[in-house]
Amino acid sequence: MKNPKIGVFGGNFDPFHYGHLNSMLSAAENFGFDEVRAVPAFISPLRVQTQGSTPTQRLEMLELGIRGHEDLIKVDRIEMDRGGVSYTIDTLTEYLSAKEKPDIFLIIGMDQFMKFDQWKRFDKILSEVDLVVTSRPGLELPYSMDDWPVSVRSMIADHDRHQAILKTGRTIHFFQLKDVEVSSTDIRKKIRLGQSIQTDVPPQVEEYVRTQKLYESVERRLGDFQKFTDYCAVVLNDKGGINVQSYDLRSQTAPTEFTLIASGTSTRHTAALAEHLIKEVKKDFGVWPESLEGQNEGRWVVVDYGSLIVHIFYDYVRQEYRLEELWTKIRK
């Protein structure tokens, strides 16, 4: 009897959207999966906490979002039930221990593939299952080994633009998606700005987000943003931030009312400054940022609190971009 061919699609699903659905359905059709297991993470190890939904809400949005496709897509609570930080290797190990010995294909996006060597036991994953790397419209699949995560390159026996044969005997498949271009980050931003998300998520998910009042702006809880800007400036300065500058942009055409710029002495210091600021704001105000970008690289970290956006640079990168020249300084 032929072993079942199973696609595994994990993620935060914060919120679940048509891009997730398109990835699962398209991969299943292209690779002939018998089923796709959608696995919501309880806590993602590589994701920095931002203002969003609870694990239970993310699970419920996923279950709502796949309605009509339950014959193919099965929601698996394995990581929710396990609790703690969710590591893909633990989930795959449990799947592979089943009596039917399934043939597993792990489906991930190009953004996750580019940092795949940061995953726990990524080498073990690539010895046990095939990888399906999907790319959204407008994003290119890797052309050469230079585009690959450094620690994965040594595992490759042969490759072309469509697949890579690994020394472990497994295969990495590259698969260009069509039609749907949407991200959870963009959806959360649209909601904060009061824009419609009807074309981005299934209708039952849109209704759930609306009735649960998910992803609303943190601004009401932060109050006076000039005082909040002063508070953040003090936090960064006390942690060793270099040349901390704040700007009032209310009289200018800008995507925010206030901004802060600070520098770190290294990429590690820059990331540490952002992490410290986020923890202090959470402790004193009870909110996470609405979004966070650049934390992994530490060259230019952007912490978004709605009416205040904080830019924290590795200092030489700050000198290159010179954002200060765009605005009038109000204080150090």
Same domain, 170 and 225: no
- The total of structural domains in the chain comes to 2
Same domain, 204 and 236: no
User: Tokens 């994003």 — which residue?
Assistant: 139
42 closest CA partner among 59, 19, 28:
59
Helix (H, G, I), strand (E, B) or coil at 125: helix
pLDDT band at 331 (very low <50, low <70, confident <90, very high): very low
Same domain, 295 and 190: no
Phi then psi dihedrals of residue 147, to 5 deg: -90, 0
241-254: burial string, b at 16+ Cβ within 10 Å, e else: bbebbbbbbeeeee
Same domain, 21 and 120: yes
Q: CA-CA distance, 248 to 226, in Å (whole number)?
A: 8
pLDDT at 135: 86
Same domain, 154 and 95: yes
* 3-state helix, strand and coil shares in percent for the chain, rounded to the nearest 5: 40, 25, 40
Digit-coded pLDDT (tens) for 4-57 = 999 999 999 999 999 999 999 999 999 999 999 999 999 888 766 677 788 999
Residue 180 belongs to domain with CATH number:
3.40.50.620
pLDDT at 332: 42
Q: CA-CA distance, 206 to 186, in Å (whole number)?
A: 14
Same domain, 134 and 243: no
Query: Do residues 257 and 217 touch, judged by C-beta distance below 8 A?
Result: no
For CA atoms 87, 23, 161, 101, the dihedral sign is positive
Neighbours of 25 (CB within 10 A): 16
Q: Which of 187, 212, 237 is the last residue of a domain?
A: 212
Where in the sequence is the domain holding 51, given as residue range(s)? 5-212
Specify which residues 314 forms β-bridges with: 264
Digit-coded pLDDT (tens) for 195-235 = 999 999 999 999 999 999 898 777 777 889 999 999 999 99
Mean pLDDT along residues 118-128: 95
User: Tokens 């205040």 — which residue?
Assistant: 308
Digit-coded pLDDT (tens) for 190-201 = 888 789 999 999
